[in-house]
Amino acid sequence: MTTRPTLRRIFFDKLTIDARIGILEHELRATQPIFVDAEFDTVVNQPSNDNEINSVLDYRQLRQTIIDCCTQQHVNLLETLVENTAQALLDSFPDVMRVKLRISKPNAFTDCAAVGIEIKLER
């Protein structure tokens, strides 16, 4: 029996990270929370082996890469953070065919839940 390639989507919903982000005076002095929503499409050529984590893309590694990208240094623009993080994810995980990344700042305005940027990159 031949297994046909299928698509598997891994996602994160509102991963909360304290980041050094922003160009305003108060943003340059302190961290602020950001929310990260992410989707990763991978092509699966074989069934997962329930006893072997290496048979799948370990989402702990995806999560850690996002955290590292968002906390390693101060970034002025949310657009830059989203672009750099999405590209780092594609560069670090060859099994990922598409990444959709949304990063938002929940404390930017008092009259909305959050403001953010979304990007989609594909191989």
Share of the chain above pLDDT 70, in %: 98
Is the CB of residue 5 less than 8 Å from the CB of residue 58? no
Tens of pLDDT along 65-114? 999 999 999 999 999 999 999 999 999 999 999 999 999 999 999 999 99
Cα separation, 20 vs 73, in Å, equals 7
User: Which among 66, 11, 9, 12 is positioned nearest to 43, based on CA atoms?
Assistant: 9
Cα separation, 10 vs 4, in Å, equals 19
What pLDDT does 2 receive?
55
All domains in the chain, ordered by first residue: 6-122 (3.30.1130.10)
User: Which among 72, 18, 60, 12 is positioned nearest to 36, based on CA atoms?
Assistant: 12
What pLDDT does 59 receive?
94
Is the CB of residue 27 less than 8 Å from the CB of residue 78? no
Is the CB of residue 67 less than 8 Å from the CB of residue 79? no
Mean pLDDT of all residues in 25-54: 89
pTM, whole model, 2 decimals?
0.91
